[in-house]
Amino acid sequence: MSLPLLPRSSWLDRWFNYLDQLRPFDRLIFGALFLIFFVSLIINVVSLNRSFLVSVPEDGGRLVEGSVGSPRFINPVLAITRADHDLVALTYSGILKLSPTGEFENDLAESVTVSDDGRVYNVILRQDRKWHDGSSVTAEDVAYTVALIQNPSLKSPLLGNWSGVTVELIGRHEINFVLENPYAPFAENLTVGILPKHIWETLSDEELPFSQRNIEPIGSGPYEVEEIGRNPAGLVSEYKLRVSPHYNEKTNLNHITIRFYQNEEAILNALKEGEINATAALTERWLPEVPRADFNFISEPLPRIFSVFYNQNKNSALRDKAVREALSVVVDRNELLKLAVNGYGRVANSPLPPDFTDIPETESGYSTEEERIQAARQILEAGGWSIGENGRYEKNIDDIDTPLTLTMRSGNSLLFETVSSYLTRVWQELGVDVSVELYEQSDLVQTIIRPRDYQVLLFGADIGRSLDLYPFWHSSQREDPGLNVSLYANIAVDQLVAELRTATSSDSRNDLLGRFATEIANEQPATFLFAPSFEYVVSSRIKTTEMKRLQRPSERFANVTKWYTNENGVWPFFTEQN
């Protein structure tokens, strides 16, 4: 026989009657235990809730960057300075852009298709992209921009990249680029910002470089100019940018301000005083003074390698591979990296920029300077060199007693002076007689590099993200304006760097790059030292994206729409819905 269920109010009455019958002390203990239980329950519920939440960016926040100098051409066709390129990257869009992982992805393009023979790039533009004035972006804007670049009277820095490229307008949102020969790195050119034809077409070639539109840009990028600040002298002191209402993709940071300072010390002070919360303008001299607790440091190698190039035509001793090998072995690249750029970079043991290929970096295997010098001396002596009465190496070459004497030429800057001083010291300790001549940059290029008037050249080569090695190592590029400053000639290398220009698959490119690096390592036409890095200081409150395989500092903004300062926790279901 089952008992009848009591009404809920009867259970409550019994519960309260029981509490009334307790002694005051017992009631106090019971109440305290109940309070502890209730608080613990709330904490556990909140903790459980948080464990399932995911953080998502929210709108809001401002990035305030410091830059040295001021912009002159906020125009992708004419941009020269770092300030120019930074503002172009924020206000203009290209057909393609760099992804956070360093690959190309669509920007203005809906699709980019390459023909089987690698000569025709068909581009179909998105139909929803607009200029800051609300007009639609069309293929005519693209054709107009390329025509400006190819116009020799404008002297665009990009002119060489578009030489021999024919433009075919197919429709309002479709265009073809036709190349004279297949060239896989051409995709790099499609990242150039596109100009609005309807804004610029009324200007003549003579008027265009002096137009006010060069400092009041109207682009199709995520940000548009809100205000231009000027100092009492009337010079531009800052650009205040806001999210363009015509940019139809989610952008988290509402405002970006670029402020201009006279020098790096002023930027450092602005960082410390909170005037700015980011900068890419500080070099190795000032970076150690940035307070680490308040900022994140982003460091990425650039595709530029500082190297020593040997001109065997100017010094018979350099024709001996043993000499070139010994000069390389004795260099402690890690120590040199610290001396030259305070460690902000990567050591380089090959002509391939570190972190830009899957080719593994080689290590010297020597831990001390004494070991390196001993190994280098063994190489020289195995090659027939011996120490003469003056304490320097010498060898009989072609029946002539030839001393191991070198003259190194380079640029007259602190970096080159530091590197040349280190090389002189270790080479002289090895037993090599070394003298150094430093030149102003323009003189170095015009009177030394172009006529190939040097025995040893200390110089930095900008290889580029696409790793087009042809200008630097193909035998046809030994004379000016080629960049083969080692005057290197190798039939196998000629074929490899030519094939690299047409190879598109990553496997084939890696195979070609690996074989190329092996050939160079076997012949030692140059000594590779280090690659400098891009250094970005940004407030720890600002969350950025990855910045891989940058070619220039302005490319840090390629994915700025995904940066944020504000975030909120939501259940994963809601992120999946978005």
What CATH number is attached to the domain comprising 133?
3.40.190.10
> Domain of 393: which CATH number?
3.10.105.10
Question: What's the pLDDT at 575?
Answer: 46
User: What's the confidence (pLDDT) of residue 362?
Assistant: 74
Name 299's Cβ contacts closer than 8 Å, sequence gap at least 6.
344, 533, 534, 535, 536
Same domain, 547 and 528: no
> Does 525 reside within a domain?
yes
- Do 438 and 308 fall within a single domain? yes
Nearest to 315 by CA among 236, 408, 383, 426: 408
Low-confidence stretches of the chain (pLDDT < 50) are: 1-3, 5-6, 53, 569-571, 573-578
Note the pLDDT of residue 369. 92
User: Do residues 337 and 373 share a domain?
Assistant: yes
Asked if 529 and 551 sit in the same domain, the reply is no
The answer to whether residue 107 sits within a structural domain is yes
Whether residues 235 and 373 share a domain: the answer is no
The per-residue pLDDT for range 59-75, each reduced to its tens digit, is: 889 999 999 999 999 99
Domain identity same for 346 and 234: no
Q: For residues 518 and 495, give the distance between their C-alpha atoms in angstroms, rounded to a whole number.
A: 14
**Are residues 366 and 416 both part of a single domain?**
yes
Q: 137 phi and psi, to 5 degrees?
A: -80, 130
What is the span of the domain harbouring residue 380? Answer: 304-533
Residue 554 domain-assigned? yes
298, part of any domain: no
pLDDT of residue 28: 67
Counting the structural domains of the chain, the total is 2
The pLDDT, as a whole number, for residue 117 is 94
Q: Are residues 360 and 254 in the same domain?
A: no
Give a yes or no: residue 556 inside a domain.
yes
Kindly report whether the peptide bond that precedes residue 481 is cis, defined as omega within 30 degrees of 0: yes
Tell me: do 460 and 555 sit in the same domain. no
Asked if 261 and 391 sit in the same domain, the reply is no
Q: Is 390 within a domain? A: yes
Q: Supply the pLDDT for residue 1.
A: 45
Residues 371 and 490 in one domain: yes
- Could you tell me if 520 and 566 lie in one domain? no
Give the pLDDT score at 245: 96
Q: Please state, in angstroms and rounded to a whole number, the distance separating the CA atoms of residues 224 and 238.
A: 14
